[in-house]
Copies of this chain bind each other. A is one copy, B any other.
Amino acid sequence: MFSEKMLKLGTNRSVIRDLFEYAKKRKAEIGEDKVFDFSIGNPSVPAPACVREAAIDLLQNEDEVLLHGYTSAQGDAGLRRNIAEYINEQHGTSLTADSLYITVGAAASLTISLTALAEDGDEFITFAPFFPEYRVFVEKTGSKLVVVNSSPEDFQIDCEAFEKALTPHTKGVILNSPNNPSGVVVTEECIKTVCGILEKKQEEYGHPIFLITDEPYRELVYDGVKVPYLMNYYDNTIVCYSYSKSLSLPGERIGYIAVSDKAVEWKNIYAAICGAGRALGYVCAPSLFQQVVARCIGKTSDVSVYKKNRDILYNALTEYGYRCIKPDGAFYLFVEALEKDAGAFSEKAKEFELLLVPADSFGTPGFVRISYCVSTEQIEKSLPAFKALAESYGR
């Protein structure tokens, strides 16, 4: 009668959405400030001032028909040029507007890139823990998602396991660093090993393997950690980016795909991306926010709040006896559950009004994700609850 697959996707809410709905209900019952909701990765820091200034100026002074009109499908040419120049400045690349395709956010960047690349029987590799929607996006193209576990101590890539997972069917590898949910930034050393393996396997199989790097958290890093720019390490790279986190605009849906101008047949890959955007119904990215972003390139929200939250939470939780992966970036703390079943642990945490996401659907059972993109006050007020939760497990 209709697609059972889509019905299933629409009915089985993600565990994150479930907690989000529970939070709403619970807050109504006992009060907003009594529930420590760490479930959602919604930036808690406002957009930088340039966003509001640019938007109001554009609305007041630009021709409305142009401002709200269609842009070309790949995005406004000026914006694409500005972004290319900024990337070149930051990373020493040589991109032009012709490498940039403006999207309706990171999820669109990924679905469009995957649709452009996927052929019958393809496989895409990613590393656990991973954003659960990767599975949905990859499987929608008819391809198979192959998951490689990370090293259990530091959650860097297990390169040996990665090499074994590559097959002649591997079309691409999705890498997410800084990582959601672990907060880990993959080291340059690890990147070099991964890229070396990819080069070797490309030659062995006689076809390209694409590195799709999903990096909405690029600017959210702490203590001067560097996030290597993948195009400088590997030619067949496609960067999927979003302004959701860096400019605190998750609801506005604006991001981009950048195709390396060193990738094999990169102009055809770019054309396939244009075709995929068209076929999925993406006519253009929202036009006002294309102009807003053009005026805010290189700016970010005040990410120092996230660092402060991280430090308070990481220090307290390790003191209470939790094992935490120290995050170098993003706004997630990945914590080992105090019992084997992370779902049961998350349920137990609810008794202390703590909403923690069990990480099973991220491909890493036994862990929970804590989104610390909340007010510092919430972090501070939640600490006794975390302490009591640890104590209830005899820590």
Name 21 A/B residue pairs within 8 A (Cβ), A-sorted.
Answer: A2-B117, A2-B119, A3-B275, A6-B276, A8-B275, A9-B274, A10-B275, A42-B70, A45-B65, A46-B64, A47-B64, A47-B68, A51-B68, A56-B60, A68-B249, A69-B251, A104-B281, A108-B281, A108-B282, A251-B286, A288-B288
A253 contacts B by Cβ under 8 Å: yes
Given known pairs A56-B60, A286-B252, the reply for A133 and B278 (CB within 8 Å) is yes
Give the size category of A's interface with B. Answer: 35 or more
Nearest-Cβ distance from residue A377 to partner chain B, whole angstroms? 14
**Interface mask (A1-32 → B, CB under 8 Å = 1, otherwise 0):** 11111111111000000000000000000000
A111 contacts B by Cβ under 8 Å: yes
Chain B residue with minimal CB distance to A58? B55
Cβ-defined contact, B3 with A118, below 8 A: yes
Cβ-defined contact, A281 with B280, below 8 A: yes
Chain B residues with CB below 8 A from A42, complex form: 65, 69-70
Known: A105-B281, A250-B283. 8 other contacts (CB 8 A): A6-B116, A9-B279, A43-B69, A55-B288, A68-B250, A105-B283, A136-B278, A252-B286
Residue in B3, B264, B275 whose CB lies within 8 Å of A5: B275
Chain B residues with CB below 8 A from A6, complex form: 115-116, 272-273, 275-276, 279
Cβ-defined contact, B278 with A2, below 8 A: no
Chain B residue with minimal CB distance to A250? B70
A162 contacts B by Cβ under 8 Å: no
CA distance A264 to B1 in the complex (A): 9
A378 contacts B by Cβ under 8 Å: no
Cβ-defined contact, A65 with B52, below 8 A: no
A71 contacts B by Cβ under 8 Å: yes
Nearest-Cβ distance from residue A4 to partner chain B, whole angstroms? 8
Chain B residue with minimal CB distance to A142? B142
Chain B residue with minimal CB distance to A11? B271
Nearest-Cβ distance from residue A74 to partner chain B, whole angstroms? 9
Chain B residues with CB below 8 A from A276, complex form: 3, 6, 9-10
Chain B residues with CB below 8 A from A68, complex form: 47, 51, 248-252
Chain B residues with CB below 8 A from A264, complex form: 1
Residue in B59, B133, B137 whose CB lies within 8 Å of A55: B59
A256 contacts B by Cβ under 8 Å: no
Which 3 residue pairs are nearest across A and B when measured between Cβ atoms?
A251-B287, A10-B275, A9-B275
Cβ-defined contact, A252 with B287, below 8 A: yes
Cβ-defined contact, A107 with B282, below 8 A: yes
Chain B residue with minimal CB distance to A73? B17
Residue among A2, A63, A116, A285 with max Cβ neighbours from chain B (10 Å): A2
A90 contacts B by Cβ under 8 Å: no
CA distance A272 to B65 in the complex (A): 35
Chain B residues with CB below 8 A from A108, complex form: 281-282
A112 contacts B by Cβ under 8 Å: yes
